[in-house]
């Protein structure tokens, strides 16, 4: 009974962390449901560990736009390293400083209190877990978005082409390593932004200028594209539009009111 009460209290506290939006874990739940992932990445407040989610498509499924070797190394090496180092960092971290449980909600809400290893690897694990769901094999019809998200994009940016241009600019101009984001803010607006390293729009940090629910994300670390595109980040960004999972993006957009 005591454990059940603790679990209930934890859920209540987690739900209260993101007012007017959905929690970080709920965002992943939505995204994974759209992408037919197994929900194996979450940590329980009783001391479980984060694990690497398997891709729902083959390493070569995004060819020719994103190559097999990049996907294999990106997922199995880089993402796995974030998971391994996140669990290692948690072994010596006092979780009482962030609400007593190392959930994504607690970590992101208290991002400024985290040591670099926890902030970077927690963000890296979360961002990549979301990123995989936002891509799909091109034969699955990813290139033709429709629905309320498309309507909102057109209303906000003037056209889908203009949106892609502005999103591409944010991805191109992110100096060094980082991410480009399409975000739904707490007041329902769509905004494009970017973050450095493994930060994301859910983190309570002054350096994260655009906050809200991620709707679309693009990894612009060199390991995401260098084997195929070398230093041509713009070519990688252009390729990305051929594999965007608009169904998942639509689901994330609809998740918040």
Structural domains of the chain ordered from first start: 2-36+74-132 (1.10.287.990), 138-254 (3.55.40.20)
d(CA 221, CA 197): 8
What is the pLDDT, as a whole number, of residue 44?
54
Residues in the chain, pLDDT under 70: 1-22, 35-47, 139-144, 257
Per-residue model confidence (pLDDT) at position 25: 84
The pLDDT score that the predictor gives to residue 47 is 61
CB 236 within 8 A of CB 246: no
Provide the pLDDT for residue 257. Answer: 63
Task: Check residue 36 and give its pLDDT.
Answer: 55
Look at residues 236, 87, 183, 169 and name the one whose alpha carbon lies nearest to residue 199.
183
What rounded mean pLDDT belongs to the chain?
Answer: 86
Q: Report which DSSP code applies to 184.
A: E
Q: What is the pLDDT of residues 146-204, one digit of tens each?
A: 789 999 999 999 999 999 999 999 999 999 999 999 999 999 999 999 999 999 999 99
pLDDT of residue 31: 82
Between the alpha carbon of residue 88 and those of residues 2, 91, 107, 118, the distances in Å are: 28, 5, 15, 9
Residue 17 confidence (pLDDT): 34
Query: What's the CA gap between 138 and 140, in Å, rounded?
Result: 5
């Amino acid at each position: 009974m005591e454990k059940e009460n603790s679990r209930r209290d934890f859920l209540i506290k987690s739900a209260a962390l993101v007012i007017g939006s959905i929690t970080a874990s709920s965002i992943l739940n939505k995204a994974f449901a759209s992408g037919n992932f197994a929900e194996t990445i979450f940590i329980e407040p009783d001391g479980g560990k984060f694990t690497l989610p398997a891709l729902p498509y083959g390493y070569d499924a995004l060819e020719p736009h994103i190559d097999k070797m990049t996907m294999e190394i990106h997922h199995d090496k880089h993402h796995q390293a974030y998971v391994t180092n996140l669990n290692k960092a948690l072994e010596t971290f006092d979780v009482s400083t962030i609400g007593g449980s190392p959930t994504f909600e607690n970590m992101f809400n208290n991002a400024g209190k985290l040591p670099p290893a926890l902030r970077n690897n927690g963000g890296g694990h979360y961002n990549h877990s979301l990123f995989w769901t936002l891509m799909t094999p091109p034969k699955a019809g990813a290139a033709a978005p429709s629905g309320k998200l498309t309507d909102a994009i057109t209303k906000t940016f003037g056209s889908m082409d203009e949106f892609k241009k502005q999103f591409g600019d944010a991805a191109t101009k992110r100096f060094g390593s980082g991410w480009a984001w399409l975000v739904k803010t707490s007041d329902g607006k769509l905004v494009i932004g970017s973050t450095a390293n493994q930060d994301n729009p859910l983190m309570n940090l002054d350096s994260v200028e655009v906050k809200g629910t991620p709707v679309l994300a693009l990894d612009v670390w060199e390991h995401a594209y260098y084997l195929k595109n070398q230093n041509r980040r713009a070519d990688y960004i252009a390729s990305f539009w051929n594999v965007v999972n608009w169904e998942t993006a639509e689901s994330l957009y609809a998740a918040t009111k």
